Structure 1
């Protein structure tokens, strides 16, 4: 008989519909017989007991909501009969034990990466252009046009060729095939460009925060060096950026070329100087070879976006198992998105290796939530319309599934936004839940690979780190094959275990880290970069 519902944790009083359920169906879950009283769409939740108004709702073994009206056994949970509620977190109450996974098959596995002078190892070799202030965005865009065209880093897109056909009056009804242009001049380095809207205006703290983020990008092991443009009069002064870089890595030997427009003369003069010096540096960086490195050199960003009701039972826990494998191997997984840890804070506090880290996590979480409330919002406003439509109807419900990305390993460090990962094992990083802001921050904290789980489909990428997409369900993987790298839908269909899927994810990460496989986000040139203006974003 087809399994149509799943109870995630023994203490849960709701189950997840694995397929559409129809009013009048009769289901069984162990010894529990359930008469389906309302239609329940796949991914949504069905009550396993009679709930009275005010009764607590549990999923993943944690409190995820409260019934606002009576809900009968067999009825669907919706935003009309459930409201967000999460358990309150307190100081560390116990030390959680950890049964580390068997990593004997992985201990001698290596990836081919770019070894940096400070001991970090990159999975990419990137020369990065960026401004310290938005006034220089135009010059960055000019440099991007010049370098990408002359170095042939991008072939023409199908959309560009389609438009060319239309302009020339040719038949545009047939599929457009992209033909390769001339070969790339450099085959061992990528040139990437970042723009942003910060660096001046706002408050000085915004510029200081941006300086730490940009310094983290320069220090990221995937970056060979950088060209930095400054106007001169902005809040984010060159010396502020340099201090931020020294704070992360005082002895960095990377080449960082800095140009200040108000000291360089005309734009033509400045651009000529930038092009000459940057080209020479890029040519030198192209000579850096890939060499074997242990998996302990991987810093893995753990991200989810466009989540659905299956994310927390397939893709996220599978990524969590891959995270545990990496932690046991001495690597550094990074769990962020603090609004999406709402309701499971106590579990994370108890996983912290000492009281100091537990207190730091609690302080950062409370300060973040207070800033959201002061702005007229709150963590309970985090679920998006897409989340709700696909079964994640409260923030605690969404969070309990999202946190599964972090596995079960001990938390070795707790970092604020702009801090850099230095410790092996699981790290917590304070970021908003917004996909791009969170991914941007993790790469700024040193992530040299990011794995991004999604149930609805999200094209997010990053200019510096490869972003691997894992779908929670096979329907999505088939509908959007151009953005999905791995399909975790086999877990939903009971074709694969969480552990098997987790090992498959880690195997793919190793291939990506070695340059053997390109992620779909990289193939689409999806280079997203959004700094966090603190207190404004969930």
Structure 2
């Protein structure tokens, strides 16, 4: 790697600018000089040699686009001169071998987790309050207001006191002082917790459960069953209206399918049976409080790292994500898999162009064929709606160097490391096999992280190059920046900075190993991730159908 440029793969015909390059600059690369003909911001790519119209663009060793006009050596790649293009894919054509990383230094390490009767181990101990249908959201909010501050789970409301200060200045006739009024303190978890062994009560409101196609309600029940089954959950309170599509028996069947011997406390109340709203809420609050008393009896105990289930996510990606944060997270995935744990790679629209590699990494034809089936069905649905995977990059992605979906996808897939794919899961299915699992979700950050927790993730690694304030109600989300500028600009959301990889100060392997040590601390409850500290409890179920 030169200090200001990087060629990711030997077969690539484009080079990444690691720093801003100006027209007229000359960069040394592999013993030769390349004249820069246009200004190239850091994170963007330029042609190593002249590219003719129609010529294939190769990056990460994969086809990521084609030139739509001549691009001179040293010329920047843009949405105007490059068009998305990817290689086709079929079934499994070969088997890719894997050399597992050395994990001897972690074999005897443990994390402090909550051991469940079914053998799973949680990194947290949460109680859930969930509506089966949006009609119950207001009742869930009422329970939230009753419990959060009283039990010590509320976050200090800085902004409420900030507004109060402005009101006082206004009433005192000192409006001119408002423009310079500073925020006086920083967030905290507020009051002393009544239940010391409970990490939180989480309220998962949503807009589903009725009014759409039956498949969406069934999938919602599968997702909620996954959350209840997740090892980070001690028990749950479910509020049902009674007449909605997402019926209680469907949820109960989904839970039983995940665990026939399910034994967690589960409180299910139906408003149309209980009578008045007051009667429903009084019963829900009383029974939930008693459930919390039982859940508080559980304590953390040492667990092997094989009990980790790591979700792999990216959002607000930039041109550095695929060469620093994502491959570092990929190394973490390989370490966890080598230790006997599970990892989960989702966001199927962001695997466009790397399908064949993932197919060949599948351990059997059944998994490979299912991946092909899910990918083709998903892309066909996108095309039928007037869109397509090629429209995946956001304006922020494009501005920071990810100009085609194929470039974005090739970098995003690096989060999955190099280990074999042991299973392919559709949305709402639970991960049961140790190793790397592929999970069909949208590229939407929150819909994807929501799904991973529903499929059993007990911790989530989330890479970002632009800064994304995303968390999850039950799975601690560790935010990983691709560059140091972001980590310094938004320290309130970034946990780990992989910018030293870009600066040439650390290797991918060193960053991954440091990240695994950090994960152990978060999983043990010794450190709270920034998303946890900020109370970022994002939850959006994926709605695949139309409203009826």
TM-score, reference length from structure 2: 0.96
Tell me: CA distance 1:535–1:275, structure 2 relative to 1, closer, same or farther (3 Å): closer
Matches within 5 A, 1:384-403: 384-403=394-413
Is 1:533 the counterpart of 2:543 in the alignment?
yes
- Report the Cα distance in structure 2 between the residues aligned to 1:180 and 1:299, rounded to whole angstroms: 27
Aligned residues of 1:161 and 1:176 also touching (Cα < 8 A): no
Partner of 1:324: 334
Aligned residues of 1:375 and 1:535 also touching (Cα < 8 A): no
Shift of residue 248, structure 1, vs aligned partner: 1.4
Partner of 1:79: 79
Partner of 1:261: 271
Partner of 1:61: 61
- Report the Cα distance in structure 2 between the residues aligned to 1:180 and 1:10, rounded to whole angstroms: 50
Is 1:130 the counterpart of 2:138 in the alignment?
no
Aligned residues of 1:306 and 1:387 also touching (Cα < 8 A): yes
Of 306, 316, 321 in structure 2, the residue corresponding to residue 306 of structure 1 is: 316
- Which consecutive residues of structure 1, in runs of 5 or more, have no partner in the other structure? none
Aligned residues of 2:64 and 2:84 also touching (Cα < 8 A): yes
Tell me: CA distance 1:194–1:13, structure 2 relative to 1, closer, same or farther (3 Å): same
TM-score, reference length from structure 1: 0.98
Give 3-state SS (helix, strand or coil) of 2:148's partner. helix
Is 1:177 the counterpart of 2:201 in the alignment?
no
- Report the Cα distance in structure 2 between the residues aligned to 1:277 and 1:386, rounded to whole angstroms: 47
Partner of 1:446: 456
Partner of 1:215: 225
Aligned residue pairs, count:
536
Q: Deviations over 1:467-522 (max 9, x none)?
A: 00000000000000000000000000000000000001111111000000000001
Aligned residues of 2:54 and 2:69 also touching (Cα < 8 A): yes
Give 3-state SS (helix, strand or coil) of 1:373's partner. helix
Q: Deviations over 1:398-441 (max 9, x none)?
A: 00000000000001111000100000000000001110000000
Partner of 1:479: 489
Aligned residues of 2:2 and 2:28 also touching (Cα < 8 A): no
Shift of residue 152, structure 1, vs aligned partner: 1.9
Aligned residues of 2:213 and 2:545 also touching (Cα < 8 A): no
- Report the Cα distance in structure 2 between the residues aligned to 1:280 and 1:393, rounded to whole angstroms: 54
Matches within 5 A, 1:24-43: 24-43=24-43
Shift of residue 187, structure 1, vs aligned partner: 1.6
Give 3-state SS (helix, strand or coil) of 2:3's partner. coil
Is 1:415 the counterpart of 2:425 in the alignment?
yes
- Report the Cα distance in structure 1 between the residues aligned to 2:525 and 2:278, rounded to whole angstroms: 37
Shift of residue 535, structure 1, vs aligned partner: 6.2
Shift of residue 181, structure 1, vs aligned partner: 5.0
- Report the Cα distance in structure 2 between the residues aligned to 1:353 and 1:483, rounded to whole angstroms: 37
Of 188, 207, 212 in structure 1, the residue corresponding to residue 197 of structure 2 is: 188
Give 3-state SS (helix, strand or coil) of 1:185's partner. coil
What's the Cα RMSD here? 1.3
Is 1:282 the counterpart of 2:286 in the alignment?
no
Partner of 1:44: 44
Is 1:355 the counterpart of 2:332 in the alignment?
no
Shift of residue 74, structure 1, vs aligned partner: 0.6
Partner of 1:337: 347
Shift of residue 166, structure 1, vs aligned partner: 2.2
Partner of 1:466: 476
Give 3-state SS (helix, strand or coil) of 1:168's partner. helix
- Report the Cα distance in structure 2 between the residues aligned to 1:299 and 1:379, rounded to whole angstroms: 28
- Report the Cα distance in structure 2 between the residues aligned to 1:422 and 1:323, rounded to whole angstroms: 16
Q: Which moved more, 1:434-443 or 1:181-190?
A: 181-190
Shift of residue 93, structure 1, vs aligned partner: 0.8
Shift of residue 106, structure 1, vs aligned partner: 0.7
Aligned residues of 2:110 and 2:303 also touching (Cα < 8 A): yes
Aligned residues of 1:368 and 1:535 also touching (Cα < 8 A): no
Aligned residues of 2:189 and 2:533 also touching (Cα < 8 A): no
Shift of residue 24, structure 1, vs aligned partner: 0.5
Shift of residue 175, structure 1, vs aligned partner: 3.3
